[in-house]
């Protein structure tokens, strides 16, 4: 299910009131691949519920450059929401998930192994809301950028 940030915050509060541990992660998730699926399942395994923050098309362009995203935000959100490990998806327009973290107040903030707590711009917000920061395993050889490069090389 795709929901606005305010509704996602209500879901988190309801789940936490019921004693459930809520995990939040975020990313561009452009051209979703097996590495993404494994990562999202590992994030879900950290708690009872998983909310995914999805960068909007505008913020993906700002982060990744012209020509990105490949898939529009509505399609990326639809695919993410269809995954068994994901309980809710919300699209955010900022470069970072700081505002979303502050609004949701999850129990756990999960990111992939290509980050460290010191390199995450969201770390101060996660600490402010009392979320545990968990860095998950990085699956080498699985990236959207590599997929795009492979597709372009085939067409060249």
List the end-to-end C-alpha distance of the chain, in Å, as a whole number.
Answer: 38
Cα separations in angstroms, 21 against 18, 95, 149 = 9, 26, 38
* pLDDT of 127: 97
Blockwise average pLDDT, block size 10, the chain, 156 residues: 95 98 96 89 98 96 88 96 97 96 98 88 97 85 60 65
Q: Please check whether residue 103 is in contact with residue 78, taking contact to mean a CB–CB distance below 8 angstroms.
A: no
* pLDDT of 156: 59
pLDDT digits (tens, 9 = 90+) for 70-88: 899 999 999 999 999 999 9
The C-alpha atoms of residue 149 and residue 117 are separated, in whole angstroms, by: 29
Token representation of residue 82: 């269809």
CA proximity to 113, closest of 20, 3, 38, 54? 38
* pLDDT of 32: 87
Going along the chain from its start, the domains and CATH numbers come out as 5-155 (3.40.50.620)
64-93 b/e (C-beta count within 10 Å ≥ 16 → b): beeebbbbebeebbebbbebebbbbbbbbe
87: left (phi over 0), alpha (psi -120 to 50) or beta: alpha
């Amino acid at each position: 299910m795709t929901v606005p940030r305010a509704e996602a915050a209500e879901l988190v509060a309801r789940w936490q009131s019921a004693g459930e541990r809520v995990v939040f992660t975020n990313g561009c998730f452009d051209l979703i691949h097996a590495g993404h699926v494994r990562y999202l399942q590992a994030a879900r395994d950290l708690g009872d519920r998983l909310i995914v923050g999805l960068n909007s098309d505008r913020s993906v362009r700002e982060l990744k450059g012209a020509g990105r995203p490949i898939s529009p935000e509505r399609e990326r959100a639809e695919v993410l929401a269809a995954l068994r490990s994901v309980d809710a998806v919300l699209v955010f327009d900022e470069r970072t998930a700081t505002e979303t973290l502050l609004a949701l107040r999850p129990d756990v903030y999960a990111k992939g192994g290509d980050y460290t707590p010191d390199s995450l711009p969201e770390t101060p917000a996660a600490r402010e809301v009392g979320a545990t920061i968990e860095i998950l395993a990085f699956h080498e050889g699985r990236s959207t950028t590599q997929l795009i490069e492979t597709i372009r090389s085939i067409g060249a």
